[in-house]
């Protein structure tokens, strides 16, 4: 017959087992607690980073709001006025040069904004998300290959739009980007290395002068008006009566 353990020995074993269990539970709890704290810290850091990115995106948009608004307004206004034959009565090169410029000016500020926010999240805040959508609508109006738009010309591929925008950017000694002014633009058009990027747009303008077709321009002007309405919702810069939409 096997000898029974003394009661004291059994108690000692039980206490030992319980101690081991307690230690195991403590280690498990601490591990899970530390893991939970780490997850909370990571989530907090992620939210903080996201808020920072949102703030930077909003600040960047605010910095370029006025020049982008002005460029969008000038372009939509020129498109609206192209419908009037009076615009072409000026025998100088101004009608053509300035029409090229207002297209290029918008694309220049658009490219500056794109470069500034390319690593930010425009969709994180409702206002910047909406801005991204409207900017895309303008880009799409110029680049679309829809058959109903093709007859009216003024098609510029996305790469062409960006290339024109890049050519319009001037960077100051302090690293601040701005868009080329009209006088400098006209002077630079004498340089073939510069003007070659505008040949397609020039052809569109001249073709339109001889054979006006409005489908794409109407879509483009309407998209610009929507962008202006977002950037200047209470008509501080440009009153509503100057935001008339072209009729089909």
Domain boundaries, the chain: 64-242
Q: Is the pLDDT of residue 214 over 80?
A: yes
Mean pLDDT of 49-73: 77
Task: Name which residue leads in pLDDT, 235 or 129.
Answer: 235
Cα–Cα dist 66/71, whole Å: 9
Q: Is the pLDDT of residue 12 over 60?
A: yes
pLDDT digits (tens, 9 = 90+) for 21-58: 667 666 666 767 666 666 666 656 555 555 566 666 66
**Residue 134, pLDDT score:** 95
**Among 52-56, 135-139, 184-188, 217-221, whose mean pLDDT is lowest?**
52-56
Q: Which of 41-50, 57-66, 167-176 has the highest mean pLDDT?
A: 167-176
Q: Is the pLDDT of residue 154 over 70?
A: yes
Q: Is the pLDDT of residue 181 over 60?
A: yes
Buried b (16+ CB within 10 A) or exposed e, 203-227: ebbeebeeeeebbbbbbbbbbbbbb
**Residue 59, pLDDT score:** 75
3-state secondary structure 174-209: CCCEEECCHHHHHHHCCCHHHHHHHHHHHHHHHHHH
Mean pLDDT of 162-167: 97
Map residue 169 onto helix, strand or coil: strand
pLDDT digits (tens, 9 = 90+) for 134-144: 999 999 999 99
Between CA 93 and CA 100, with CA 98 as vertex, the angle to 5 degrees is 105
Strands (E), 60-184: 169-171, 177-179
**Among 39-53, 57-71, 157-171, whose mean pLDDT is lowest?**
39-53
**Among 87-91, 108-112, 180-184, whose mean pLDDT is lowest?**
87-91
pLDDT band of residue 104 (cuts 50, 70, 90) is very high
């Amino acid at each position: 017959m096997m000898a029974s353990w003394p009661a004291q020995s059994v108690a000692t074993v039980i206490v030992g087992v319980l101690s081991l269990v307690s230690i195991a539970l403590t280690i498990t709890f601490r591990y899970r607690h530390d893991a939970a704290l780490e997850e909370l810290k990571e989530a907090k850091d992620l939210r903080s980073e996201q808020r920072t990115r949102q703030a930077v995106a909003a600040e960047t948009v605010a910095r370029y709001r006025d020049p982008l608004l002005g460029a969008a307004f000038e372009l939509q206004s020129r498109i609206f006025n192209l419908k009037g034959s009076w615009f072409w009565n000026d025998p100088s090169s101004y009608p053509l040069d300035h029409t090229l410029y207002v297209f290029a000016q918008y694309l220049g500020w658009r490219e500056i904004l794109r470069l500034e926010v390319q690593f930010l999240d425009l969709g994180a805040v409702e206002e910047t998300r909406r801005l991204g959508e409207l900017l895309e609508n303008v880009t799409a109006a110029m680049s679309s290959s829809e058959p109903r738009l093709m007859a009216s010309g003024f098609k510029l591929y996305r790469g062409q739009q960006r290339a024109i925008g890049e050519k319009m950017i001037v960077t100051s000694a302090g690293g601040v980007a701005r868009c080329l002014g009209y006088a400098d633009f006209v002077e630079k058009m004498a340089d073939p290395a510069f003007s070659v990027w505008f040949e397609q747009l020039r052809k569109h303008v001249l073709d339109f002068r001889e054979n006006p077709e409005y489908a794409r321009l109407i879509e483009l002007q309407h998209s610009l008006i929507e962008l202006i309405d977002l950037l200047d919702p209470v008509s501080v810069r440009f009153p509503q009566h100057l935001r008339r939409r072209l009729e089909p």
